[in-house]
């Protein structure tokens, strides 16, 4: 029984695409954490106040005019000014390194017989094309984040117009706006990750054209007149796009689950202080066998309860095995249990939230965006009986503790250095797959490849 070389090459191509998409999602999360740090440094500075008052463009112009005033030579040589310049230079650097990291790491890891000539030229084209686009995307994301954090009350695309509780501190409001912005960026990461293999294909198209043999060129020219039917063309296009969309969606979904705490804080804020919605034309009503009872908050409360469990699971995964559940995770599960009890009661269909539930959600919001308040956890634990008199958790815990693989993945990606090590390991796998794919395509000899792998 023989397997067609084309089938093997197609399977290897799907594996390479999946690795590329997964790498870009992980690298984008790594770069996003760096941009978040730079962005938060800018937001926490006193020079951000003009941008907060007048918007990004007018505020930046006001800062530029004030910087050009008297005493400019002293400010230019000040150490703080150079620190800010170096900090801002990180934005395009990170944007360049995120997409070009995979091609050049693969170039370092592949055997020497492959790493030169046309392969190296293709890697350079991929790096230049994706690197320039990465710089532009990083600068745009960074500026859009500053614009949204400065004025989060204005909705922008998928970003909601936030209204904050009156007693929320300014630092908590900035953190909440940053949470809303960067959680929305997960959708952007999914789109960019799906487009990355297409950009790589565009960059290597000259090599694909020169790799065609005369016989294959003659065959393709003879079949040029026989076009595929429209339906078959759509099917082929769908099959070609699926290997890029599915890994991107899976990887971005994993990233969104890691950011469940950010989504939870935004959902609670919108539940406590709903945004002002514009009046819209009434949609067309369709006949339904059962009409729902008017309930304003049930769907939002269901989402909050689910996010409470996901956030609690994230806290538990960060603990060493045998030291779970984390007290904060127990408290969040107790809050989720109280929300479920409320949803099973007729009061859940009232137009307003009960006062005690609003206060509970407000304390959860403070725990998420104002963690400096150490007493909030104790007060919340006393409000929703999460522990008995002996300090034993009374809230229903997870069905089973997090597995070794889940704990290991969480702990090895919990810091920048460990995430970089994981990315390097994935790059090694990608290099191996690319080498095998080139072997299947006949670019190098199998014996030569085995000699290099040994």
Q: Which two tokens stand for residue 431?
A: 């290099």
Give the pLDDT score at 101.
85
**CA separation for the pair 333, 137 (Å, rounded):** 38
Instruction: Indicate whether 346 pLDDT > 70.
Output: yes
Q: Tell me the per-residue pLDDT of 353-408, one tens digit each, with 9 for 90 and over.
A: 889 999 999 999 988 888 776 567 888 888 888 787 777 787 666 545 555 555 55
**For all residues of the chain together, what is the average pLDDT?**
75
**CA separation for the pair 56, 50 (Å, rounded):** 8
**CA separation for the pair 431, 96 (Å, rounded):** 21
What is the percent of the chain where pLDDT is above 90? Answer: 15
Q: Tell me the per-residue pLDDT of 318-330, one tens digit each, with 9 for 90 and over.
A: 887 777 788 888 8
Give the pLDDT score at 177.
92
How far are the Cα atoms of 86, 202, 206, 274 from residue 66, in angstroms, in the given order?
20, 46, 51, 38
CA nearest neighbour of 258 among 15, 3, 25: 25
Contact at 8 Å (CB) between 266 and 160? yes
Q: Is the torsion defined by CA of 43, 45, 47, 53 positive or negative?
A: positive
Q: Which two tokens stand for residue 310?
A: 């996901």
Strand partners, 159: 156
| Highest-confidence segment of 277-281, 283-287, 301-305, 425-429 | 301-305
Across 32-48, b (16+ Cβ under 10 Å) vs e yields bebbbebbeebbeeeeb
CA nearest neighbour of 264 among 316, 307, 300: 307
Instruction: Indicate whether 201 pLDDT > 60.
Output: yes
Q: Estimate to the nearest angstrom the gap between the alpha carbon of 120 and the chain centroid.
A: 30
CA nearest neighbour of 30 among 83, 93, 87: 93
What is the percent of the chain where pLDDT is above 70? Answer: 65
**Average of pLDDT values for 31-51?**
87
Contact at 8 Å (CB) between 98 and 138? yes
Length of the chain in residues, anyone? 454
387 phi, psi to nearest 5 deg? -135, 150
Instruction: Indicate whether 87 pLDDT > 50.
Output: yes
H helix intervals, 110-229 = 118-150, 170-210, 214-222
């Amino acid at each position: 029984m023989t397997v067609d070389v084309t089938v093997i090459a197609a399977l290897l191509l799907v594996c390479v695409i999946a690795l590329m998409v997964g790498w870009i999602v992980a690298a984008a999360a790594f770069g996003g954490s760096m941009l978040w740090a730079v962005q938060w440094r800018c937001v926490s500075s006193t020079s951000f106040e003009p941008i907060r008052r007048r918007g990004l463009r007018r505020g930046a112009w006001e800062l530029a005019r004030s910087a050009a005033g008297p005493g400019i030579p002293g400010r230019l040589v000040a150490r703080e000014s150079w620190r800010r310049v170096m900090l801002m230079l990180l934005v395009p650097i990170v944007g360049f390194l995120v997409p070009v990291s995979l091609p050049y790491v693969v170039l370092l890891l592949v055997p020497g017989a492959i790493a030169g000539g046309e392969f190296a030229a293709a890697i350079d084209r991929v790096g230049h094309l994706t690197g320039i686009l990465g710089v532009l995307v990083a600068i745009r994301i960074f500026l859009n984040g500053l614009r949204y954090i400065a004025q989060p009350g204005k909705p922008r695309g998928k970003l909601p117009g936030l209204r904050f509780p009156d007693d929320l501190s300014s630092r908590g409001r900035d953190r909440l706006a940053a949470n809303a912005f960067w959680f929305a960026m997960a959708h952007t990461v999914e789109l960019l990750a799906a487009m990355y293999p297409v950009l790589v294909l565009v960059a290597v198209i000259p090599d694909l054209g020169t790799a065609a043999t005369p016989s294959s060129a003659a065959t393709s020219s003879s079949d040029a007149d026989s076009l595929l039917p429209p339906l078959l063309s759509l099917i082929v296009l769908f099959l070609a796009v699926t290997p890029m969309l599915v890994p991107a969606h899976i990887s971005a979904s994993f990233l969104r689950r890691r950011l469940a705490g950010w989504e939870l804080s935004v959902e609670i804020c919108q539940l406590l202080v709903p945004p002002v919605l514009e009046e819209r034309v009434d949609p067309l009503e369709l006949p339904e066998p059962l009409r729902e009872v008017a309930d304003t908050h049930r769907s939002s409360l269901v989402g909050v309860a689910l996010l409470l469990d996901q956030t609690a699971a994230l806290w538990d995964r960060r603990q060493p095995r045998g030291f779970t559940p984390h007290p904060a995770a127990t408290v969040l599960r107790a809050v989720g249990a109280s929300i479920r009890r409320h949803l099973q009661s007729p009061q859940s269909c009232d137009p307003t939230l009960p006062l005690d539930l609003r206060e509970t959600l407000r304390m959860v919001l403070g725990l998420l965006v104002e963690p400096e308040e150490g007493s909030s956890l104790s007060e919340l634990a006393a409000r929703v009986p999460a522990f008995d008199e002996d300090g034993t958790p009374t809230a229903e815990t997870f069905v089973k503790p997090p597995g070794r693989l889940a704990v290991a993945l969480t702990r090895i990606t919990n810091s920048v250095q460990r995430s970089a090590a994981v990315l390097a390991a994935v790059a090694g796998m990608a290099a191996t797959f690319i080498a095998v794919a080139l072997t299947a395509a006949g670019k190098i000899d199998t014996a030569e490849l085995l000699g290099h792998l040994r």
